[in-house]
Amino acid sequence: MSAILKDSTKVISIKQNFRYFNNSQDTLNTLYFNDWNNAYSSNTTALSKRFGEDFDRRLHLAKPHERGFTKITYIKDSANTNISWDRTVHADILKIELKKPLPPNQTVELNFRYLLRLPEAKFTGYGHRNDGGYYLKDWYLTPAVYDGEWHLYPNKGLEDLYTEVMDTRIDLTFPPNLYFASNFKYQNVSKFPQGQNVALSAIKRKNAVVILDKTKAFTTHITPYLQVTTDLDAVRYDEIAQGISINRINKYITDNLGQYPHGNLLVSSYEYKKNPLYGLNQLPSFIRPYDEQFQFEMAYLKTSLNSFLEETLFMDPRKERWVNDAIANYLTIKFVEEFYPDQKLIGKLANIWGVKGFHLAKMDFNEQYTLLQMLPSRSNIDQSLTTPNDSLIKFNQKIANRYKAGSGLAYLANYIGKERVDSTIIDFYNVHKLASRTNVSDFEAVLTACSDDDVSWFFNEYVKTRAKIDFKIKNLKKTEDSVTFTLKNKTGTNVPISLFGLKNDTVVAKYWFKDIDTSRTITLPRAGAEKLVLNYDQKIPEFNQRDNWKTLNGFFSSNKKLKFTFFKDTENPYYNQVFYVPIANFNIYDGLTPGLRLYNKPFLERPFTYDISPTYSFAEKTMVGRASLRYRKYHGKSGLYVSNYGVSGGTSHFQENSRFSTLTPFMSFAWRPEDLRSNKRQILTLRHRNVFRNIGENVLRNDDIDLDLENNPDYSVFNARYLNYNNNLINYRSGTIDFQHAAQFTKVSVELEYRRLFESNRQLNLRFFAGKFIRNKTNSDFFSFALDRPTDYMFDLNYLGRSESSGLTSQQIIIAEGGFKTQYEDQFGSDWIATLNGSINVWRWIELYGDVGFIADRGESAWFAYDSGVRLNLVTDYFELYLPVYSNKGWEIAQPEYEKSIRFIVTVSPKTLIGLFTRKWF
């Protein structure tokens, strides 16, 4: 291949001669080539859609000069005859129709001529950077894999290009004043007046990585074990020390895998940033808790292992990536055990006063693998290791499944012996490195052959399913010499489980039990043990460890002690944890309300949770607050996947010296599709809201007091609500049916919402709301439908000033019911309502909005309402401003005190705001 990079246009001109050898048993009439650079060419590619699924609109909103594309000039055969080609349904895969069939063990020569317009690196890290540098990976045309069927994988930004093993020569010309680095073999870079040139070569490699920097960042380290080119650096860890660390890790990798078959291993900071050590070390450098040596070595080890395996073990990275992940993370776990056995998860922070009392501070560094693996498992969004890479939710794809693979091998090593697993990995690597076809079955065969024990459970239960592991001890009986108990398998997952006997927290006995489908009664010698603990060393990624131990010292000593912990902590199975944290809320009637929140939910989900938040109202000089009890039951992966049951209550003020309290038993059920990446959900909520109100004398003296408030201060409403939505950045849809029944009324409403981000980057927002009273015996508008500011008699909406009709807080808008932005004096309807809200952007976050609708009172004709204006949609549903222009009131923008007509949406809930940033991960 001859490639010429022109800096001014960011275009690479390529002449590529390709000799394709048919090593299959079939005659081929069609060939497919990966053209991943073209994935950046439009809003409709798989890559762009993937960005949208992750709530990232950068590629969707990209300008033409920011995009990348491939322009094919021609494809010819050895006779210089044009060959027809086309793009498949995926814009980044080429379909080439051969002039004549290609039999097995025969060769065809193809000549390509094309231009690559490189994308900006801000999208995936690949392409041209703002600093003038380039990072090229998966950039030129490569053959798709055929092994009886074609594996055609579009670029989805997942680092999983699947291509054939090739022998490659590249003649690359690139701009002057750039420093060159590559994973391929090369001698010297020659310079000439207009640029530079380098010749690359590789035997049995997949794809050339080319890095061009404005500064010389890469250094080559030649060690007895491995030659490495790297730009990983540590500011406070000097170059000599870095060299010593690199030498040590190169020896470790060689000892545990084998000799690297290529001349040079590229270990780049670019690759590390794509797959970093997630956790505390990503904090700013001035608060990083790890020693520089440890941090540097872990970064280098993780990146070099991933690059080492990617360059030599050629498995299907979209469907079988877990094997490489398992080996890499297992060797990382083993490295920490050997060289940093005392390293804590939070490093130096574990020794700080006020922190060291946390269970998190006592956790070893390697315990993070089970902790982060359990995060999606406890939330019922975990996925099996055999799930294709592009079907994983982002957290599982980046973190949880990689860690599950590594901790799974560590679990297996703990069961059959580390030496067996270590030797298996070496054997597997040395037999299959550089083989063009390696499969999971090869790895399974080697593991099975090296073990005296049956390891089928590892593949059938741990790898292929998302089944939970959970055991408990029950029915304990003891004598002076022995102990008898029942070991119960709570989930039916047939895997081995370890049992430890402890005396003064010292292990005096260890046993393994297997093939326990349901339960088994076991008798063991007491051996001086004071406790029996399942999975004491926590090598097994068990779903629930809170019932893993039994004491042999009497009934009362079996009770877990209560432990109060500030803020939040990881789960400690040996205590009943209660977390507390100071809180402060605000509304204009209670003023500032500081208090204490008491709850039992650690970092991981648990079935039963309570949350009690008593606070003190300085304005009213009394206690207010809220509390809830909830039981959550997760079911299957899809269909009905979760149900919730509970009761909640709260008390606050809605006017001066006027209190409301609520008590609400509830249950809810949620459904989702098989594809966990889908944001489609269906939710049915049933609740019975009971409201109790105490009315202040000053409010009762008001001539405008609602009769319902004076005569019927307390009420109850049964509410059934069905929500069906698809939360997607590009195409958002939701529908809600709401039914309410109370002593004085029965009503039903429907709400439909639609948002569409078009390829022109124009976003349309539409919302329809309609409601009707089936019966209405009320004598005020307290329960009526509202055009712009509902009374919120269910106390669902987070109003800053719930009862205000003037002042800044009265201008707060929460899009509910009619959804109008203009405030009307006659805004209520005691019979029916139907409204349509719409907006469309004109430039970035500036939009035009309009609302139309009808609203009617009982026994009266409906009246038509409309308004329009400008919407500043800074963050949808979180921070917005509405500037009215024209409505039934006329030109509002020209009327006095216009600033009082401006409406705003603001979200101050930390939980809601955090969800804005975490939604792309889960």
CA distance linking residue 306 with residue 300, whole number of Å: 10
Global confidence as pTM: 0.91
Sign of CA dihedral 93, 94, 100, 106: negative
CA distance linking residue 774 with residue 784, whole number of Å: 12
Instruction: Tell me the mean pLDDT in the region 810-834.
Output: 93
Using CA atoms, how far residue 850 sits from 819, 842, 865, 873, 896, in Å, is: 10, 14, 11, 14, 22
Query: Residue 424: CB partners within 8 Å, gap ≥ 6?
Result: 446, 447, 450, 451
Using CA atoms, how far residue 59 sits from 51, 392, 759, 844, 915, in Å, is: 7, 21, 11, 15, 22
CA distance linking residue 25 with residue 103, whole number of Å: 8
Backbone angles phi and psi of 657, in degrees to 5? 60, 25
Given a contact cutoff of 8 angstroms between Cβ atoms, the answer to whether 294 and 415 are in contact is no
Q: Say whether pLDDT at 89 is over 90.
A: yes
Backbone angles phi and psi of 125, in degrees to 5? 95, -15
pLDDT of residue 504: 87
pLDDT of residue 281: 62
Average pLDDT, the chain: 92
Q: Say whether pLDDT at 450 is over 90.
A: no
Beta-carbon-side half-sphere exposure of residue 659 (alpha carbons within 13 Å): 15
* 82-91, 414-423, 585-594, range with the lowest pLDDT: 585-594
CA distance linking residue 92 with residue 45, whole number of Å: 8
CA distance linking residue 690 with residue 795, whole number of Å: 10
CA distance linking residue 661 with residue 879, whole number of Å: 29
DSSP symbols for 847-896: EEEEEEEEEE-TTS--EEEEEEEEEEEEETTTEEEEEEEEETTEEGGGST
**How buried is 352 (Cβ within 10 angstroms: 0-12 exposed, 13-18 middle, 19+ buried)?**
exposed
Backbone angles phi and psi of 467, in degrees to 5? -60, 140
CA distance linking residue 384 with residue 391, whole number of Å: 11
Q: Say whether pLDDT at 33 is over 90.
A: yes
Given a contact cutoff of 8 angstroms between Cβ atoms, the answer to whether 666 and 686 are in contact is yes
Name the token pair of 718. Answer: 């049964």
With tokens 């349309």, the residue in question is 764
pLDDT of residue 372: 93
Query: Could you report the per-residue pLDDT of 98-130, keeping only the tens digit for each?
Result: 999 999 999 999 999 999 999 999 999 999 999
pLDDT of residue 707: 45
Q: How far is CA 575 from the centre of its chain?
A: 30
Instruction: Tell me the mean pLDDT in the region 682-707.
Output: 78
Name the token pair of 736. Answer: 């809600």
Query: Residue 383: CB partners within 8 Å, gap ≥ 6?
Result: 376, 391, 392, 393, 396, 401, 466, 676
Instruction: Tell me the mean pLDDT in the region 262-283.
Output: 85
Query: Could you report the per-residue pLDDT of 878-916, keeping only the tens digit for each?
Result: 788 999 999 999 999 999 999 999 999 887 655 565 666
Q: Say whether pLDDT at 211 is over 90.
A: yes
- The three-class DSSP label of residue 600 is coil
- Pairing type for strands 127-128 and 134-136 reads antiparallel
Sign of CA dihedral 435, 440, 442, 443: positive
- The three-class DSSP label of residue 449 is helix
Q: Say whether pLDDT at 557 is over 80.
A: no
CA distance linking residue 179 with residue 816, whole number of Å: 58
- In sequence order, what are the beta bridge partners of 719? 687, 740
Q: How many CB atoms lie within 10 A of CB 9?
A: 12
Q: Say whether pLDDT at 97 is over 60.
A: yes
Query: Could you report the per-residue pLDDT of 132-176, keeping only the tens digit for each?
Result: 999 999 999 999 999 999 999 999 999 999 999 999 999 999 999
Sign of CA dihedral 146, 151, 155, 157: negative
**Domains of the chain from N-terminus onward:** 1-216 (2.60.40.1730), 218-312 (no CATH), 317-466 (1.10.390.10), 471-559 (2.60.40.10)
pLDDT over 70 percentage in the chain: 95
